[in-house]
Structure 1
Amino acid sequence: MSFSTKLPLILLLSSFLIHTSFAMMVCEDLPKEVCAFSVASSGKRCLLETEKNINGETEYQCRTSEVMVERIAAYIETDECVEACGVDRSSVGISSDAFFEPYFTSKLCSPSCFSKCPNIVDLFFNLAAGEGVFLPELCEKHKNNPRRATIELTSSGAALGPASSISQDIALAPASAPTPISEISKENELSLKRIFCKGLNNTLPSVSSICGQSP
């Protein structure tokens, strides 16, 4: 990839870092790589959507949903929590379909996720609650008998559609207190730098001004 093709990416990163430095994070400004499971400064969840361009090709766009989050704002989920909870940043929309995969429920209910990743747990707590399923109870059942827990979940009819069908009056879970916005923004900045600066030529002044010199 030539520098001229990388320039728009650099400008996008620069623009976003300015936003985060003032704690103003807008879903539509986020790159698709970090859209899913992020929360805007408004407290609304971001979601990844697809649309066809004029050539009929599928493009991904980050959009603002109407799903509100309590006590979390201007937040991009960490790679550690994405891994610990078994979620996928390329997930389109917001859906509870993942609950029907025993592997996912096992990851979500694991101590490394359930006790340390309040943003993701809050999301799936609400998805479950919207269909009358209490997530801690589901986790307990899954711990004792994963197959039976999945069968009970299926029989309850708990399956949500795309995010557009999710109302913002879904019962909100009491998520743990998040990191202060000032600290979150710094963490987001470093995370985005790693994503966008990987593979760029840091010896170029226009790149090093954003990404810094290679170690």
Structure 2
Amino acid sequence: MVSSMKLSFTLIFACSLFLQTTLAEVICETLPTNLCSFAIASSGKRCVLENYQNDDGKLKYTCKTSEVVVSTMVGRIETDQCVSACGVDRSFVGISSDAFLAPQFAASICSPACHRNCPNIVDLYFNLAAGEGVYLPALCEKQKSRPHRAMMELLSSGGAAPGPVAEISSDLVADAPAPVLF
């Protein structure tokens, strides 16, 4: 009887540890820097990687809570598979729409592996694209059929430094929500 009680207590203890880890609260300031980017705190606010100089003058990194709320995906830390599939990098400080200017980025963010399986990253870049006046689903459609043309239209949308004036395809510009600042 004592043996079965010990087994029961051990089992209950093990289950409680499992529950604590699965229901653990995600707090940006407690995340290691290699998990910070593309994480959403339990409060629903995005985590952002920031850098600072320590007392020795060395560059250090820390994870902070931003003011950007994502109410549909609270307490989420993006998987390494999604980071890879979407062509993003957790080590970048801050997040910028400049990523769209990299030749392979649009192909990665629009890939089925990213677009269908990584709603956190897609939501983030959807909002960044909208802030530049670009509707991400339309850009992805163009990317499938004419990738170079899609990049030219993105560049001419005002999302990059001024260059030659080009006509913007009306299906790339959307009545997008207000830009999300990080």
User: TM-score of the superposition, structure 2-length normalised?
Assistant: 0.74
Q: Structure 2 CA distance, aligned partners of 1:54 and 1:19?
A: 36
Per-residue CA distance 1:122-170 (angstroms, 9 max, x = gap): 00001111221100000111112212211211111125xxxxxxxxx64
Q: Structure 2 CA distance, aligned partners of 1:90 and 1:57?
A: 16
Which residue identity does 2:150 align to in structure 1? A
- Residue in 2 that maps onto 1:82: 83
Per-residue CA distance 1:30-77 (angstroms, 9 max, x = gap): 010100000000111111111111111100010111111131111110
In structure 1, runs of 5+ residues without a counterpart are: 1-16, 160-168, 172-215
- Residue in 1 that maps onto 2:9: none
Q: Structure 1 CA distance, aligned partners of 2:80 and 2:25?
A: 21
- Residue in 1 that maps onto 2:146: 145
Instruction: Answer with 63-72 or 106-115: which moved more.
Output: 63-72
Q: Is the 8 A contact 1:102 1:146 kept in 2?
A: no
In structure 2, runs of 5+ residues without a counterpart are: 1-17, 161-177
- Residue in 2 that maps onto 1:134: 135
Which residue identity does 2:59 align to in structure 1? T
What is the percent sequence identity of the aligned residues?
58
Q: Is the 8 A contact 2:127 2:179 kept in 1?
A: yes
Q: CA deviation at 1:23?
A: 3.5
Figure out how many residues of one structure are paired with residues of the other and give that number.
147
Q: Structure 2 CA distance, aligned partners of 1:100 and 1:146?
A: 12
How do 1:7-156 residues align onto structure 2 when only pairs under 5 Å count?
22-156=23-157
Q: Structure 1 CA distance, aligned partners of 2:108 and 2:39?
A: 19
RMSD: 2.2
Structure showing greater relative contact order (alpha-carbon pairs closer than 8 Å, 6 or more residues apart): 1
Secondary structure of the equivalent of 2:65?
strand
Q: Is the 8 A contact 2:36 2:90 kept in 1?
A: yes
Secondary structure of the equivalent of 1:157?
helix
User: TM-score of the superposition, structure 1-length normalised?
Assistant: 0.63
Q: Structure 2 CA distance, aligned partners of 1:59 and 1:18?
A: 33
Q: Is the 8 A contact 2:132 2:179 kept in 1?
A: no
